[in-house]
Amino acid sequence: MILIVGATGYVGRYLTVYLKDKGYDILALGRSQKVQPFFKENEIPFQYFDMNDEESYKALPSENIEAVVCLSACLAEHETPVEKFFEVNTLGVYRLLEFCRINGIKKFILSSSHKVYNDINKEVIAESDGISFKGDHSPYIISKIAAENFVDYYRKDFGIEGIILRFTGVHGYGEILGHLNKDGSYKKSTFEIFFERILEGKKIEVWGDQSIKRDHIYIKDVLSAVQAAIDAKGVTGTFTIAMGKGYSQYDEAKALNIVFGGGKSEIELHPEKPGLTRGYIYDITKAKQALNWEPQFTDMVELYTDYKKEWESKKYHNYHLILQEQAPKTL
């Protein structure tokens, strides 16, 4: 059995269906009651679980568990209290690792973030370039780095095969890209604004230096990366999971326009206006070699063509509270 912790989140919902369809015996674990109908519809066993609640651990199965996949995270929102990052991202991971140690579970897969490379200024960034936690999201990044260190500690001292997957920005239908407040009010992201204007056949304005490119990854390549980590024998370590190539906002706008707008929207460049300040592209050689994994969606038109299928089906719709009049049409 595979335990999926954080199954009620964006990646978790996709992953549970993906692994079930691949024939894995899984148990979805999470706190959100709103998502339970999704698991019932897809015939996925679900159990309430809080990483920091002792009773939740007592209710877990403890035998015949092949691996624990931890997707839970307190995300980098500016109003989040600092202690919350460590309660979820660090202490929660520690308690999961203790559960693995006590019950003889030999594989632990941690979802981490490319934000640990936050201030590394290189054309192509690899795992060997180290980490940097300066910048706007320092408490979040430090909490993720601490969690990674716990995984390494349990590997060295207790023999748990720990695999850390540092995901770059994950792209796909059902994701929240803008800023969501607790009251349901929502500020749309640039991508969501582009998307809506293209659906309406309106002009798009792309600001900034288009030589700046960013390396994102499609949700379905994230799923295959997690599967590769589950299947890998005797493999431990840290791996960056990305596309391995970058695209500018103009590149993304062109691909969106082709797939969702039939190329009808005019795209107007404004390099003199403020845009992205830095780009990032990642070296994914280590993941290719050790996990025998590589992304399948590296062309933006192909990526958005698949995205469109999921957007039309609405299978993985978002469960967050967003005021209806402010909800982006991407959802």
In a domain, 26, yes or no: yes
Please tell me whether the overall predicted TM-score, pTM, comes out greater than 0.85 for this model. yes
Measured distance CA(103)–CA(100) in Å, rounded: 5
**Domain membership of residue 154 as a residue range:** 2-173+217-245+281-299
| Residue 274 contacts residue 208 (beta carbons within 8 Å) | yes
Burial class (CB in 10 A: 0-12, 13-18, 19+), 262: exposed
Q: Beta 179-180 vs 186-187: how paired, if at all?
A: antiparallel
Mean pLDDT of 3-27: 96
Residue with token string 């919902």: 13
Positive or negative: CA dihedral 12, 18, 21, 22: negative
Here the tokens at position 52 are 């920091």
In a domain, 23, yes or no: yes
Q: Tell me, what's the pLDDT at 328? A: 85
Q: Specify the DSSP class assigned to residue 295.
A: -
pLDDT band at 122 (very low <50, low <70, confident <90, very high): confident
| Residue 204 contacts residue 198 (beta carbons within 8 Å) | yes
State yes or no: pLDDT of 136 exceeds 80: no
Alpha-helix runs per DSSP H in the chain: 10-21, 36-41, 54-58, 82-85, 92-103, 138-158, 190-199, 219-231, 249-261, 285-291, 300-313
Total domains in the fold of the chain? 1
Ramachandran class of 161: left when φ > 0, alpha when ψ lies in -120 to 50, beta otherwise: beta
Q: Tell me, what's the pLDDT at 133? A: 63
- pLDDT tens-digit readout, 283-325: 999 999 999 999 999 999 999 999 999 999 989 888 777 877 8
Query: Which of these, 94, 223, 100, lies nearest to 161 by C-alpha position?
Result: 100
DSSP element (H, E) containing 2: strand 2-5
Mean pLDDT of 235-243: 97
Strand-pairing partners, residue 164, are 110, 238
- pLDDT tens-digit readout, 66-100: 999 999 877 655 567 778 778 888 999 999 999 99
Measured distance CA(319)–CA(232) in Å, rounded: 32
In a domain, 119, yes or no: yes
- pLDDT tens-digit readout, 20-38: 999 999 999 999 888 989 9
State yes or no: pLDDT of 259 exceeds 90: yes
Q: Tell me, what's the pLDDT at 188? A: 87
In a domain, 311, yes or no: no
Measured distance CA(147)–CA(217) in Å, rounded: 22
In a domain, 143, yes or no: yes
Q: What is the CATH number of the domain that holds 69?
A: 3.40.50.720
pLDDT band at 130 (very low <50, low <70, confident <90, very high): confident
Mean pLDDT of 181-201: 89
- Report CA-CA distances (Å) from 17 to 22, 42, 222, 306, 323: 9, 7, 13, 17, 28
In a domain, 204, yes or no: no
In a domain, 223, yes or no: yes
